[in-house]
């Protein structure tokens, strides 16, 4: 029997069964066979001898469409993702109007342009949005959402909505999600704005939207850390998780972009106390420190110190932190950089370096096993966002999203290597060891030996529940 595709003689890595040398076959977009090495034949064969075969990486935390529009980002950023072995992304998306009125247009822009699969997670900004949850779940196939604690007290002015996202809004949000008949997920931006606003002392930070800022040429990245301290993140995460647990929703509560070691430790304490919740950190918190950062690395929460970094690696390895997400934004240098830290924009591109960084700084540096790296870059995200086992697994019947990686391949990061829209990378000039040779999306080779061979529109929206 000949299969559509065979990935031959690679070392297949699965969190539940470890590693095994095998052939993996795909037919009609799904894994159809896993067999002894060099035993399967296919119309297309990828020779993985000497390399490892992983489930395609999943970046559950991106922000496509903020700076350049969704149509442009869907094409350029999914193309770049293939370079780094990413085969599925989750796009956080927020708009003040009724989602029932606007999502058809965004689906159309996305469907025509993504090289790989994707799902939306909608940011809710108002009580009207909360009332839309049943429609969003049942008619749009979107089961994941975001609660932006950084917009508390600011939502009405910023978005023109009917509330300022206080705790009564959050309570209604969580209660409504908990009442749905299918699993949902709530991404939670942990930030106590009473603390951060007071520490900022009225100073202005430009966000993704345009605006003017007070500029002090003497201020450096450290002001971000001073005005957005780790404990303000920690306190908010604990409070949000407690509200979720009050409504028996803690199993669906997902703390995004954990930057503070103290927050990671409190996540471990909550687990020990019986909470069932998810935690995510980002590559920049694992691989950069405050002292290395400038305006290019401006993000909220900010990159912190070496002690925080060490704790985050420890908590990633011991199972406390479940997932890696990048908080990816596609912007150009002229959009990103202003006259100082306050005048520069938030966010930077990162999805395509997610897996290489975890392989390089995690696996090759001895911090993570290869199986654990697969868990945090693929399998756990699929489980947290209700995609498993369609995604995040190499098993018969799962989507044939595969990445063949050479753990010994060392490359120096440049924008040209990453093939995205951005003309810079926060990792530019950094050597990383462990890169894909092939990225396969639902049984079709999309990236091969440095070249994109897939097409825009090959990806599709993942309607949930799966």
Give a yes or no: residue 222 inside a domain: yes
Give a yes or no: residue 411 inside a domain: no
Give a yes or no: residue 415 inside a domain: no
Give a yes or no: residue 80 inside a domain: yes
3-state helix, strand, coil in the chain (%, to 5): 35, 25, 40
Please report the pLDDT score of residue 420 as a whole number: 97
pLDDT along the chain (466 residues), means of 10: 97 93 98 98 98 98 96 98 98 95 97 98 98 98 98 94 94 98 98 95 52 62 97 98 98 98 98 98 98 97 98 98 98 95 96 98 98 98 98 98 98 98 98 98 97 98 96
Residues 6+ apart with CB under 8 A from 230: 259, 260, 261, 262, 263, 301, 304, 308
Same domain assignment for residues 283 and 211 = yes
Supply the angle between the helices 230-246 and 193-200 in degrees, to the nearest 10. Answer: 160
Range of the domain at 356: 56-384
Spatial contact of 165 and 201, defined as CB atoms under 8 Å apart: no
Closest CA to 59 of 401, 366, 300: 401
In terms of DSSP H, where are the helices of 318-463?
A: 333-336, 354-357, 370-374, 380-384, 415-418
**Which value, to the nearest 10 degrees, does the dihedral of the CA atoms of residues 14, 16, 20, 25 take?**
-60
Same domain assignment for residues 33 and 95 = no
- Cis peptide upstream of residue 465 (ω within 30 degrees of 0): yes
Instruction: Give Cα 225 to chain centroid, integer Å.
Output: 22
Split into its structural domains, the chain has a count of 2
Give the DSSP letter of residue 134.
H
Query: What CATH number corresponds to the domain at position 15?
Result: 2.30.40.10
Same domain assignment for residues 90 and 153 = yes
Spatial contact of 163 and 117, defined as CB atoms under 8 Å apart: no
Spatial contact of 55 and 409, defined as CB atoms under 8 Å apart: no
Q: From CA 195, how far away is CA 187, in angstroms rounded?
A: 21
Same domain assignment for residues 104 and 158 = yes
Please report the pLDDT score of residue 430 as a whole number: 98
Same domain assignment for residues 127 and 257 = yes
Between the CA of residue 415 and those of 330, 349, 352, 353, 377, what are the distances in Å? 12, 10, 10, 11, 22
Same domain assignment for residues 47 and 70 = no
Same domain assignment for residues 26 and 144 = no
Same domain assignment for residues 209 and 347 = yes
Give a yes or no: residue 462 inside a domain: no
Between the CA of residue 59 and those of 6, 81, 112, what are the distances in Å? 25, 9, 20
- Choose one of 354, 384, 414: the last residue of a domain: 384
Q: From CA 428, how far away is CA 440, in angstroms rounded?
A: 26
Residues 6+ apart with CB under 8 A from 218: none
Same domain assignment for residues 90 and 228 = yes
Residues 6+ apart with CB under 8 A from 214: 203, 204, 342
Q: From CA 316, how far away is CA 281, in angstroms rounded?
A: 8
Supply the angle between the helices 70-83 and 99-111 in degrees, to the nearest 10. Answer: 50
Same domain assignment for residues 7 and 92 = no
Give a yes or no: residue 427 inside a domain: no
Please report the pLDDT score of residue 1 as a whole number: 87
Same domain assignment for residues 23 and 101 = no
Q: From CA 241, how far away is CA 266, in angstroms rounded?
A: 11
Same domain assignment for residues 69 and 48 = no
End-to-end CA distance of the chain: 30
Give a yes or no: residue 412 inside a domain: no
Give the DSSP letter of residue 361.
I
Query: What CATH number corresponds to the domain at position 258?
Result: 3.20.20.140
Side-chain half-sphere exposure of 189, counting CA atoms within 13 A: 20
Structure tokens, 219: 């201020």
User: Helix or strand or coil: residue 166?
Assistant: coil
Between the CA of residue 350 and those of 290, 419, 422, what are the distances in Å? 18, 12, 10
**Which value, to the nearest 10 degrees, does the dihedral of the CA atoms of residues 413, 414, 415, 417 take?**
-70
Residues 6+ apart with CB under 8 A from 407: 51, 52, 359, 363, 364, 370, 433, 434
Give a yes or no: residue 209 inside a domain: yes
Please report the pLDDT score of residue 218 as a whole number: 73
Structure tokens, 51: 């390399």
Spatial contact of 382 and 391, defined as CB atoms under 8 Å apart: yes
Spatial contact of 177 and 133, defined as CB atoms under 8 Å apart: yes
């Amino acid at each position: 029997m000949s299969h559509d595709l065979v990935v031959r003689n690679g070392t297949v890595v699965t969190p539940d069964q470890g590693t095994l040398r095998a052939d993996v076959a795909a037919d009609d977009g799904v894994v159809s066979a896993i067999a002894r090495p060099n035993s399967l034949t296919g119309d297309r064969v990828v020779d993985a001898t000497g390399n490892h075969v992983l489930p395609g990486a999943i970046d559950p935390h991106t922000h496509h469409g903020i700076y350049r529009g969704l149509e442009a980002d869907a094409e350029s950023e999914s193309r770049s993702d293939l370079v780094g072995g990413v085969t599925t992304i989750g796009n956080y998306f927020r708009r003040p109007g009724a989602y029932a009125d606007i999502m058809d247009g965004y689906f159309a822009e996305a469907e025509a342009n993504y090289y790989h699969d994707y799902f939306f997670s909608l940011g809710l900004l108002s009580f009207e949005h909360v009332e839309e949850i049943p429609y969003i779940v049942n008619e749009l196939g979107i089961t994941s959402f975001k609660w932006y604690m950084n917009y508390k007290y600011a939502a009405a002015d910023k978005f023109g909505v009917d509330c300022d996202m206080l705790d009564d809004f959050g309570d209604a949000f969580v209660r409504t999600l908990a009442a749905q008949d299918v699993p949902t997920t709530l991404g939670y931006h942990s930030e106590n704005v009473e603390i951060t606003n007071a520490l900022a002392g009225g100073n202005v930070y430009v966000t993704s939207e345009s605006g003017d800022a007070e500029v002090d040429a003497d201020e450096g990245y450290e002001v971000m850390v001073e005005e957005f301290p780790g404990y303000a993140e920690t306190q908010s995460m604990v409070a949000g998780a407690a509200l979720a647990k009050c409504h028996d929703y803690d199993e669906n509560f997902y703390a995004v972009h954990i930057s503070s070691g103290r927050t990671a430790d409190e996540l471990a304490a909550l687990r020990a106390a019986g909470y069932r919740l998810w935690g995510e950190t980002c590559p920049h918190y694992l691989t950069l420190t405050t002292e290395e950062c400038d305006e290019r690395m401006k993000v909220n929460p900010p990159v912190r110190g070496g002690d925080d970094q060490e704790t985050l690696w420890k908590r990633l390895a011991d199972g406390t932190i479940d997932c890696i997400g990048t908080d990816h934004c596609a912007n150009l240098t002229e959009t990103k950089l202003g006259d100082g830290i306050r005048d520069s924009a938030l966010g930077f591109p990162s999805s395509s370096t997610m897996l290489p960084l975890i392989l390089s700084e995690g696996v090759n540096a001895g911090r993570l096993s290869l199986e654990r790296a697969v868990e945090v870059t693929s399998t756990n995200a699929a489980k947290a966002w209700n995609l498993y086992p369609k995604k995040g697994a190499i098993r018969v019947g799962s989507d044939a999203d595969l990445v063949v990686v050479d753990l010994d391949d060392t490359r120096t990061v440049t924008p040209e290597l990453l093939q995205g829209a951005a003309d810079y990378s926060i990792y530019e000039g950094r050597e990383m060891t462990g890169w894909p040779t092939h990225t396969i999306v639902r049984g079709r080779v999309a990236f091969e030996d440095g070249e994109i061979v897939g097409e825009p529109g090959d990806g599709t929206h993942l309607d949930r529940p799966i």
